[in-house]
Amino acid sequence: MDKQANSNPGHETTDVPARPLASIGIAIVVLVGGSFLTVALLFKVLDYYQPLFDSIPHPLADSRQMSSAPRIQTDPPQQKAELHKIENHLLTTYDWVDQDNGLVRIPINRAIQILAERKLPVKTGNAATN
């Protein structure tokens, strides 16, 4: 009776083999790395061909009716780049704002330099204490 209890302990008596587990781990790492490289390559290919697709007008573009609903941005990165270009131009160039009154726009760096030399005006009276 004692011999029968030892032959069937109710649990596994051997360890899990390490080689199949290691093989599965390596396969997962290769699969994830390969997927990452495939997606990166796909994005590069699509980025290369996108200008070709943009230059071809849609055949139904002339018959399209504009909706009265709010319009979404069609190309946010390009619009952001254009806005940055406009802002950079405004912040770094001289230009007339109102020529009749002698009001000009100066570059921001020059304006900071002038303020540093002359210091900011200080208000006096009741407005300064509030």
- What's the pLDDT tens digit per position in 59-111? 777 787 777 887 788 888 999 999 999 999 999 999 999 999 999 999 999 99
Whether the pLDDT of residue 6 is over 80: the answer is no
Burial class (CB in 10 A: 0-12, 13-18, 19+), 105: middle
pLDDT at residue 130 greater than cutoff 60: no
Strand, coil or helix: 80: helix
CA distance 16 to 3: 25
Which is more confidently placed, 22 or 2?
22
Residue bearing tokens 């254009």: 82
Each domain of the chain, given as residue ranges in start order, spans 19-56, 78-122
